[in-house]
Amino acid sequence: MRLRLKKGKQRELILVEKGNLSWKEFSEKLGIKRNRLLTYFHEECLIPEELFNKFKNSRKFTKFILEKKEDNWGQAKGGKLSRGKTKEINIPNESKELAEFYGIMLGDGNLTKIKSYKIGTYSARIIGDFYKDKEYLVNYVKPLIEKLFETKVRVSKFRSSNAMFLEIHSKKLVDFLESKGFKSGDKIRNNLNIPNWIKQNSSFLKSCICGLYDTDGCIYKLTNQNSHQISFSNKNTRLLKEARESLISLGIHPSKITKEREFNITKKSELRRFLKLVGFHNSKHLNKVRMFNIAPSYSGQILTTKL
């Protein structure tokens, strides 16, 4: 269930619980992504009852609960269901581009699906950091979505935070993604994974993994060492295992999963193999590859079709 609190009280509760922790530390403590936590803090979304009950001060704020909504209730501001028109979109065939978009959604995306008689809210949203991911989201992901589905993509920034998002309102898009295996609502609770239509095609799999690494991957230099790591992290244990198994099936050998949430690629030969077979499209990763000189000849993978 989702809880609607008196205006400003959801924000106040989260601020009290956060204390002196950074947003990153607080989100890791709660087991949710930082950007998702910020949507609750800015009251863009109704807070899940399960998360509310984790807070030490939840009892003090129980009196501010105005109502409970179904679990798939979306944004707090989207709480008022609007009369919708069935917007036509292009239904794409299975392709590398679609597989990459699916990987991006598995990493930083979510679907909202609220059904009611003659009215409803249906949307797909991809969240990122305004300063680190803007170039990637606006100049790469947005055109990718518009090419695939022939629909407009809204670009917005959350108030008083560094989070931004791409959003598409379309029942047909939500229905299509669900038909391909992506359920609406909480991704971890839904135990989302890489669907068979992607896993059974190595080209699709490489593109999907690229989308996953562009959103949930990172590159860094090991402390006091002349070596680097490409790391992948996700709270969904099933997806984490499948991403690792997928790399192995492609001939790339990462470390074992550590802390039940991440694995790494460290050997120079494996790093270069990853870049050759999978690669990145997110400029924040590409810039680090060049800065660290991991693969001197690597300039970034590009789609075979112009976006």
Q: Residue 34 and residue 26: Cα distance in Å, rounded?
A: 8
Q: Residue 166 and residue 104: Cα distance in Å, rounded?
A: 12
pLDDT of residue 159: 79
Q: What is the mean pLDDT of residues 38-64?
A: 88
Cβ-based neighbours of 174, under 8 Å, separated by 6 or more = 111, 112, 113, 122, 123, 124, 184
Q: Residue 161 and residue 182: Cα distance in Å, rounded?
A: 28
Is 73 exposed, middle or buried, given 0-12, 13-18 or 19+ CB atoms closer than 10 A?
buried
> Is residue 96 scored above 90 in pLDDT?
yes
pLDDT of residue 155: 95
pLDDT of residue 117: 47
Q: Residue 65 and residue 229: Cα distance in Å, rounded?
A: 45
> Is residue 24 scored above 90 in pLDDT?
no
Burial 199-232 (b: 16+ CB within 10 A, else e): bebeebbbbbbbbbbbbbbebeeeeeeeebbbbb
- Candidate from 109-118, 159-168, 255-264 with smallest mean pLDDT: 109-118
- Candidate from 4-13, 218-227, 230-239, 294-303 with smallest mean pLDDT: 294-303
Q: What is the mean pLDDT of residues 184-211?
A: 94
pLDDT of residue 194: 97
> Is residue 160 scored above 90 in pLDDT?
no
> Is residue 76 scored above 50 in pLDDT?
no
Model pLDDT for residues 232-255, shown as the tens digit of each residue: 999 999 999 999 999 999 999 999
Is 90 exposed, middle or buried, given 0-12, 13-18 or 19+ CB atoms closer than 10 A?
middle
The model's confidence at residue 139, banded by pLDDT at 50, 70 and 90, is very high
Q: Residue 234 and residue 257: Cα distance in Å, rounded?
A: 11
